[in-house]
Chain A
């Protein structure tokens, strides 16, 4: 648990020391103060001391009120701040520590936090151990010795889980992400659930935070999913390496791989992955080719027993045939070279086009950003209005006479993105086309070389001694034998690659199955119980706070977002749910927020969650919720034993309202006598 014992502000000014010390009790604390008394300064100081100031907006001292940074106002006079710091004493149920963080101090960066191991504010002592830590730098959440949030995690006996970020990598569920579940800020905190959650690139961070606070087993499954993703990525890498091995082998054997995908798939029949070789104008499978070559070899074997003289006629016929073939293949070779040149040119053009679309896309993204910035500085053109006459313009600088309506930038970006994708597809298909033609061309080239060699050999035979065996035939025989041997070995290597591939495919299948298992209903029985309790206490509280907008039977806690939704039945009996915000009146929306944050605390306390048992509400009486209902809310907070709640409220600057709202309640009243920050007499 996390309870606050005391807060101290120390502000040194040109007129001496100013500041305040506030002590908190367990149970309900109400800080009642008028609007200009510095209530927000006290609220923000608590966040700042805990390193949660991102909830208000920015990091470090930029968020802080001017009283801590620039000027202290005392009556009619202003005094410049020369040094300031905030100390907060916190209690985890067993130990008390005091954290101190500077706002203005020449010698100390605001990232530094002094942690004193003792109740420095309520029982000052200089024998406590002191350690310096820091926040908001790299390592603040993970460095166990110097990182304040890592330390706080341990102090609260939390074990913050790893979650997945938007890039699919594993990252920590940072502490500032959890804070918006129990600290609700006045200006934007009441607009929606978890409105002030900072952006840390964590996927669905609200859901992860609720799962953590309620300690849902779902988290365990989330972990399994993380490890599954890692395994999937590892397998993908292995697959890519194997894919390259296949390609390399194919290149060595003048072959092509068919049926093999570059990314993991489940392969049911390993025979669908095969090599084919282009030879003599047709494709051969490797075993067929071996057979063909063996036949050729046998024929040659017989022929080599015959001498040149006997072979004369045969050689003449073969020579004619070879010459014919030479012409034919040479012609095709020329033709294919032209085609290839053409394809390569097309490829180059696609690449060029892709580059220009990319440039266009980048420019459009800049234009989109500019449109937003234009809106930020209230430029009329950002709203498609002419800044001079206020008439509509269509977000373009086209001359007026052009009768065309341009797309909106976002549409234009989508349009370009799809063009880009299309070009990607063109390029990849063009690439494989070129590769295929390159292969065939290489094969033609080989073949041409072979034929020329053969023609030379026959010619030599024709003029050599009639009684010798044909030299040409012998050479062909040797070559063929060599090829047969090569492809027999080739076949063995293919088999070993295919075996490896099949193993990977099986592993992939297992991973996919595990993935399917994980995607089902993975709430444990206890999880269901917790969500049920969250829903029940939420509804009960809504009733207590006098929520009116919707039939309470239609309100559910959604099992994917863990937030309240309205569930309706469509005419076809299918349930459909939507955000409760859309159908609640303004004040009912506030009642929902009260009920939800309190229900989270109560559920966690009853069924063993990780809630810090602390709720801090800044000005919860928003949207003119009535005093009676507000009282019901305060009452709920005051009877929560074991939890601490701190409510900052002005009660419409009226003492009467305050007394009405708190009548008969047990709470610790904290009031300012004028402003909170006052001159400290030493």
Chain B
């Protein structure tokens, strides 16, 4: 006689997945706050500029590329940079939380957002490289016009 055993029951558990830190709301909000405070005149920027600088501090590679561009006085060719949906979603949250406010086409940091920045500033290790990079650019380092010129190449 043949003995056959049947699998009577199978179950699968859906595990939580690992996602890149870029997809964490507060992480991205942190980037937005840093960009606005450190590299934007009167803590205010257009969406395009926010996208550009958030893309720049997204990875070591982007960072080096932008640094090179700055070093060459904006002359070197900039091949491509990314506009990321995460930045848009983070901005929605940031506005809803009252860190950032949206007025006449630009995003600016609110008092609440500045409070968050101050907390972030206290932790010297937090976003160390991002901070150094953005501080180096400074509030007047990259103007809106520069961003317009850059993006007009793609549009």
A contacts, CB < 8 Å to B = 359-360, 363-364, 366-367, 369-371, 373-374, 376-377, 379-382, 386-388, 393, 395-399, 404-409, 411-412, 415-416
Contact = CB atoms under 8 A, between A and B. Distances in A.
A370 B18 contact: no
B83 to A, nearest CB: 14
Contacts of B98: 387
Given A366-B127, A395-B25, A397-B90, A412 B19 contact: yes
B28 interface: yes
Contact of B89 (A366, A397, A408, A411): A397
Given A363-B22, A366-B30, A397-B24, A381 B97 contact: yes
Contacts of B59: 359
Contacts of A393: 25
Contacts of B22: 363, 397
28 contacts: A359-B59, A363-B27, A366-B27, A370-B26, A370-B27, A370-B30, A373-B119, A373-B123, A374-B29, A377-B112, A377-B115, A379-B26, A380-B96, A381-B25, A381-B29, A381-B93, A387-B97, A393-B25, A395-B25, A396-B23, A396-B24, A396-B25, A397-B25, A399-B85, A405-B14, A406-B19, A407-B19, A409-B24
Interface in B91-120: 93, 96-99, 112, 115-116, 119-120
A499 B126 CA distance: 51
Contact of B16 (A374, A382, A406, A416): A406
Given A366-B30, A381-B29, A398 B18 contact: no
A380 B29 CA distance: 13
B116 A367 contact: no
Interface of B: 14, 16-30, 59-60, 85-86, 89-90, 93, 96-99, 112, 115-116, 119-120, 123, 126-127
A379 B119 contact: no
Given A373-B120, A376-B119, A377-B115, A367 B27 contact: yes
A369 B96 CA distance: 21
Contacts of A404: 16-17
A136 B14 CA distance: 53
B111 to A, nearest CB: 11
Contact of A398 (B23, B60, B126): B23
Nearest to B93: A381
B17 A367 contact: no
A377 to B, nearest CB: 5
Given A359-B60, A382-B26, A366 B126 contact: yes
A375 to B, nearest CB: 9
Contacts of A376: 119
Nearest to A388: B96
A405 B98 CA distance: 26
Contacts of A386: 96
B24 A371 contact: yes
A584 B98 CA distance: 42
A367 B26 contact: yes
Contact of B21 (A367, A377, A411): A367
